[in-house]
Amino acid sequence: MQIIAHRGASKLAPENTLKAMEIAIALGVGAIELDVQWADGELWVFHDRRLERCTDGHGVLTEQSRDYLASLDAGDGERIPTLWQVMSLIAGRCELHIELKGAHTAEPVAALTRRAEAELGFTPAHWVVSSFHHPELAHFARLRPELRLGALTASLPLHGARFAEELGAWSLNCDVDFVDAGLVADAHRRGLKVLVYTVDEVSDGDALAAMGVDGIFTNRPDRFS
């Protein structure tokens, strides 16, 4: 079962920061997940719609200027990194699961993954691009059809993994609260991997491995290495 550091090693450092990415790399993870949003002509690695929980700033991230976002403290003196800063840090040392948070992300992520392949030692096999925003994910698939896609759901879907197959996804990415053996089997019958978020307890990881799950997103990669 693959271990994917969720927002970096996000219980060991502020989530989605360069520090969280560095710790995950130092732990030897095979993959890191992060969230991206588009604001003022830049891709920012940040989970929430609003800035308050994770920074000393205020407001909706996508409505802010580049200078304002770059000035914020994201915890322990860390800054909100851009996707390019994270890519530069990782430089092909592990896979990167890029979660598109909302609109206007597909095109810049398509461009930046291409640039990172040209300049930073990544290959197309390093990427998995995922989203709850299925139209944006479908848009991304048209831009880079050769890359792996993760179809995210936060519910137990009515028709199993059918929506993920229809998206042409590589994996079904589902919530630990809404995964069962039937969904895993249905995804596997359709040729999809099953990745589950967010799993911080080793006993939960063991149960998911027994269910045949292919990977987990965890805030505590140190517990699973």
Number of amino acids touching ligand G3P (CB under 6 A): 10
Specify whether the CB–CB gap between 203 and 176 falls below 8 A: no
| Ramachandran angles phi, psi of 44, nearest 5° | -110, 140
Q: Does residue number 136 form part of the binding site for Mg ion (CB under 5 A)?
A: no
Q: Could you say which residues in the range 80-109 bind ligand G3P, by CB under 6 A?
A: 99
Interface with ligand G3P, residue 200, by CB under 6 A: no
Output phi, psi for 35, to 5 deg: -110, 140
173 binds, among ligand G3P, Mg ion, none (CB under 5 to 8 A by kind): ligand G3P
Q: Which of 19, 47, 148, 193 binds ligand G3P (CB under 6 A)?
A: 47
- Write out the DSSP string of 101-113: -STT-HHHHHHHH
Q: Which position's Cβ is nearest Mg ion?
A: 99
Contact status: 99 vs Mg ion (CB under 5 A): yes
Q: Is there a catalytic annotation at residue 126?
A: no
CA distances to 3, 5, 30, 97, 162 from 94, rounded to whole Å, are 11, 11, 5, 10, 29
Contact residues toward ligand G3P (CB under 6 A) are 6, 33, 35, 47, 99, 130, 152, 173, 197, 217
